[in-house]
């Protein structure tokens, strides 16, 4: 079984992953500009009614609880902050990419896993006092988007790949069959959307964070978050608690079982709310 000779990853990425819409691109660009005003960002958001509605929903949700009800886009931008707005724009596009009319149970399970990993990665980054909890969320949300494309290319084939390969062998088996790993494909998606290099790099190395020489902490955070979702049964591959609690990444981040369990409990309380906001 080897399809690498006929597997055109660049065609698959461009077919399944549309470029960011103009409105979303403008909002994302402004949200990364420290000199951009809340009014300018709000005006850009207002050009996309669906995004505007989602921003207001998020601003008034328990996940971003504020002291007062948010009734306008400038208020929402001020309440959430530029980084959270940027996160929300990319998360919205990611949600639309995962969602389609005939979404298979495997695709649905992958989306639920991605949301769980995103939230856990954010909880870990906040607990460790790291900068960039929004980036951690996006890295978690996008870490397995390469699997989505492999599923859409041939779901039966990818099921077989997962059944044949243990977790530590999956990347090698993907490379053998497709000529690419799901992590490499995910990095290509990140670059198609012109996301920061840290996100592409983390996606590329999230399963082997010990091999990287930059952004290593973010890669380890996503690696641990991924493991925690898997041991909870939210994912495509089962994993034992020992694999998660005794991993190199867990030790490197100095996260013991009690702390990880507490962070996971906070994560699970937010999963359904976040899925509702994004779907």
> DSSP secondary-structure letter at 3?
-
Residue 107 lies in a domain: yes
In CATH, what number is assigned to the domain containing residue 225? Answer: 1.10.3210.10
Residue 164 lies in a domain: yes
Question: Global pTM?
Answer: 0.91
Residue 200 lies in a domain: yes
Residue 261 lies in a domain: yes
Question: How far lies 267's CA from each of 112, 224, 259, 279, in Å?
Answer: 13, 13, 12, 18
Residues contacting 221, CB < 8 A, separation 6+: 121, 124, 125, 128, 130, 136, 139, 249, 253
What counts of helices (H) and strands (E) characterise the chain? 17, 0
Residue 4 lies in a domain: no
Rounded mean pLDDT, 30-38:
88
Rounded mean pLDDT, 222-234:
93
Residue 29 is part of which domain span? 9-278
Residue 228 has pLDDT above 90, yes or no: yes
Residue 3 lies in a domain: no
Q: Which stretch, 68-82, 85-99, 139-153, 203-217, has highest mean pLDDT?
A: 139-153
pLDDT at 102: 81
pLDDT at 258: 93
Supply the mean pLDDT for the chain: 88
Tally of structural domains, the chain: 1
| pLDDT, tens digit, 9 for 90 and up, residues 120-163 | 999 999 999 887 788 899 999 999 999 999 999 999 999 999 88
Specify whether the CB–CB gap between 41 and 27 falls below 8 A.
yes
Higher pLDDT, 1 or 82: 82
Residue 57 lies in a domain: yes
| pLDDT, tens digit, 9 for 90 and up, residues 177-193 | 999 999 999 999 999 99
pLDDT at 66: 62
Residue 2 lies in a domain: no
């Amino acid at each position: 079984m080897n399809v690498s000779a006929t597997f055109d990853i660049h065609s698959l990425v461009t077919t399944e992953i549309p470029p960011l819409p103009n409105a979303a691109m403008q909002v994302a660009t402004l949200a990364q500009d420290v000199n951009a005003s809340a009014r300018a960002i709000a005006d850009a958001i207002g050009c996309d009614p669906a995004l505007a509605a989602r921003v207001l929903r998020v601003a008034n949700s328990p996940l971003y609880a504020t002291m007062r009800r948010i009734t306008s886009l400038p208020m929402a931008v001020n309440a959430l902050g530029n980084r959270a707005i940027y996160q929300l724009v990319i998360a919205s596009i990611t949600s639309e990419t995962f969602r389609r009319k005939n979404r298979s149970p495997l695709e649905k399970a992958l989306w639920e896993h991605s949301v769980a990993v995103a939230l856990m990665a954010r909880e870990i980054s906040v607990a460790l006092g790291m900068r960039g909890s929004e980036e951690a969320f996006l890295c978690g949300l996008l870490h397995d988007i390469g699997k989505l494309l492999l599923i859409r290319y041939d779901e039966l084939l990818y099921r077989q790949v997962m059944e044949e390969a243990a977790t530590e062998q999956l990347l090698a088996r993907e490379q053998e069959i497709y000529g690419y790993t799901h992590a490499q494909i995910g990095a290509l998606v990140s670059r198609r959307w012109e996301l920061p290099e840290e996100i592409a790099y983390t996606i590329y190395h999230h399963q082997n964070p010990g091999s990287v020489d930059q952004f290593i902490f973010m890669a380890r955070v996503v690696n641990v978050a991924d493991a925690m979702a898997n041991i909870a049964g939210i994912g495509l591959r089962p994993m034992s608690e020992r694999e998660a609690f005794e991993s190199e990444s867990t030790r490197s981040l100095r996260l013991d079982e009690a702390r990880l369990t507490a962070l996971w409990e906070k994560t699970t309380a937010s999963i359904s709310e976040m899925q509702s906001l994004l779907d």
